[in-house]
Amino acid sequence: MKVINVGKDNSTFQQILALKENRNKRAQTKLFFVEGVQNIKDAITYKWEIEAFIYCNKTTLSSWAKGILHLANYNYILSPELMNELSDKDDVSEILAIVKMKTVSRVSYSDNPIFLLLDRPSKKGNLGTIIRSCDALNVEHIFFSGHSVDIYDHAVITASMGSFFKMPITFITSNNEYIDIVNKLKSQFANLKVLATSLQTNNRLQDYDFTTPILLLIGNETDGLCKFYNENADDFVKIPMRAGIDSLNIACATTTCLYEINRQRDFNNF
């Protein structure tokens, strides 16, 4: 473990700041910025490699923070001014982290899995909240596609409250790749339903049978699902709402659907 003192706004600090703010820098270095005790704890628990910890030279670290410093390749020690600039919290975090990206390894699924696909998610907080709901409500794999927010953006990570580090998340690069994934899932789960949310259906959420394996398709916050996914869904379902309301926040809608899927299954398995 190498300790580096960063007492002023120099090139080292600018590199750290770029990992927080610049998507291209994250993609180039395969590193991303993490804030929040729960996020850091879960990154460690689920064996993500810690590139660096960041803390202030004027802060007395807790015993927990002191106990994890050896896990990083580097420790950056910052002035209070630079720490304040990095932290998004009013009460500045005692420790921040830089974590290495990793690819999703082969995933073993249960006999009756729930999968989720997000089409072009565009709001960081919504995506992080959806990841958190997926973790809570038994989703076994998240897929996303299209021009979307960066899943490694610190705002996404923060909103997930640690769930990001637990969930298998895969970016689908093309329509052909999506078809291949669905075909593989259907070969493994013969009764898998690919289900899209839509206002143009009479299938109400609470009346639909969710007791078999499900791939739930959720659309973009503004435009909904693209034509391709609508054309390749097995069926459609809607969340009933009172007259005059035709949509929910995407994170709320996703959580509502996932809750109903779980309600129809055995809650004792939670």
Q: CB of 220 within 8 A of CB of 119?
A: yes
| CA atoms within 13 Å, Cβ hemisphere of 105 | 6
Partners of 35 in the β-ladder:
96
Q: Domains in the chain and their CATH numbers?
A: 2-100 (3.30.1330.30), 114-269 (3.40.1280.10)
Nearest to 40 by CA among 80, 81, 90, 96: 96
pLDDT at 222: 80
pLDDT at 105: 74
**3-class DSSP state for residue 115?**
strand
pLDDT at 176: 97
Those residues whose C-beta lies under 8 Å from the C-beta of residue 98, and which sit 6 or more positions away, are 16, 19, 31, 32, 33, 34, 50, 51, 52, 53, 54
pLDDT above 70 coverage of the chain, percent? 99
pLDDT at 7: 77
Q: What is the layout of strands, in order, in the sheet containing 114-119? A: 169-172, 139-145, 114-119, 214-218, 193-197, 235-237
Bridge-based pairing of strands 193-197 and 214-218 is: parallel
Nearest to 253 by CA among 229, 228, 221: 221
pLDDT at 88: 87
Q: CB of 257 within 8 A of CB of 138?
A: no
Can you say whether residue 247 is alpha, beta or left, with left for phi > 0 and alpha for psi between -120 and 50 degrees? Answer: beta
How would residue 223 be classed by pLDDT, with cut points 50, 70 and 90?
confident
pLDDT at 224: 84
Strand ranges, E, within 135-192: 139-145, 169-172
pLDDT at 160: 96
Tokens 């689908």 -> residue = 172
Residue 48 is classified by DSSP as P
Distance CA 6, CA 16 (A): 11
Q: What is the pLDDT of residues 170-194, one digit of tens each?
A: 999 999 999 999 999 999 999 999 9
pLDDT mean across residues, the chain = 93
pLDDT at 124: 94
User: What does the pLDDT average to over 51-64?
Assistant: 94
How would residue 268 be classed by pLDDT, with cut points 50, 70 and 90?
low
Task: Using CA atoms of 187, 191, 197, 202 in order, give the dihedral in degrees to the nearest 10.
Answer: 150
pLDDT at 231: 95
pLDDT over threshold 80, residue 85: yes
